[in-house]
Amino acid sequence: MLKLAIGNKNYSSWSMRPWVLLRHFGITFQEEMLRFDGFGPDSRFKLAVGRLSPVAKVPVLVHDDLVVWDTLAIAEYLAEYAAEHFPEHALWPRNQAARARARSLCAEMHSGFSALRNACPMNIEAKLHEVGARVLAEQAAVATDLARLVAMWREALAASGGPFLFGGFGIVDAYFAPVASRLLSYGLPLPADVKAYVERLWASPGVAAWVQEALAEQCFLDFEEPYRQRC
């Protein structure tokens, strides 16, 4: 059976991606929650994840004796796994050109948008619209990242006809789910068509399940949110 090690659902954007993908397509897996208590080398979290992965970061996918880390590598492995065991599900677009484009968008997300990610860390439970407005006003790089997101999503939706970026839900949509969380938590402004995509993504089965469980955690960490009581 597949086993997926993840961090706290409220905060762990990288963990969200493969979990949402597996849940959306009904692929059975075992979840191993490694709760954050710090990121120092002696923290319980680092010691636990270090026993699974040489990079000591979540997510980590374990399948029998195989260990896969990094979200892109996990996504590619799951696409091959689904093709073998669940051929009715296309995690990447079936069309070659669309597949290449979807991979390009995921790679751009993987290596880019650092201004948005750093200024607006994922926090599903929180409503930080005032913070979002201030960030947009003070950090031009965040506005640039937001404009790029809008442009790439509009282009993909126009080409595919929706409802998701390349028609049906796939890896690329799961990859942008944590971004949608940031946009919603920080109240960042979106044109109506892009906002509608974010709402469809938020309501999709895997994303909705993750959000529900994230809201139920009630595990607030002082190094993530210094104004709250640590769990």
Instruction: Spell out the domain ranges in the chain.
Output: 2-89, 96-211
Helices 205-217, 192-203: axis angle to 10 degrees equals: 70
Say whether pLDDT at 106 is over 90.
yes
Contact between residue 120 and residue 135 where contact means Cβ atoms under 8 Å apart? yes
Flag whether pLDDT at 89 surpasses 90: yes
2-89 matches 96-211 in fold: no
CATH number, domain 2-89: 3.40.30.10
Of 27-41, 69-83, 135-149, 216-230, the least confident: 216-230
Q: How confident is the model at residue 94 (pLDDT cuts 50, 70, 90)?
A: very high
Residue 227 has pLDDT above 80, yes or no: no
pLDDT band at residue 114 under the 50/70/90 scheme: very high
The CATH code belonging to domain 96-211 is 1.20.1050.10
Q: Is the pLDDT of residue 229 over 90?
A: no
Report the candidate in 182, 177, 227 with the shortest Cα–Cα distance to residue 206: 177
What local confidence, expressed as pLDDT, does residue 32 receive?
97
Residues 85-112: b if buried by 16+ CB within 10 A, e if exposed? eeeebbbbbeeeebbebbbebbeebeee
Residue range 118-157, pLDDT digits in tens: 999 999 999 999 999 999 999 999 999 999 999 999 999 9
- What amino acid is encoded at 151 in this protein? A
Q: pTM, whole model, 2 decimals?
A: 0.94
Token output for 165: 């970026």
**Number of C-beta neighbours around residue 142 at 10 A:** 23
pLDDT tens sequence across 8-43: 999 999 999 999 999 999 999 999 999 998 888 989
* 3-state class (DSSP) for residue 6: strand
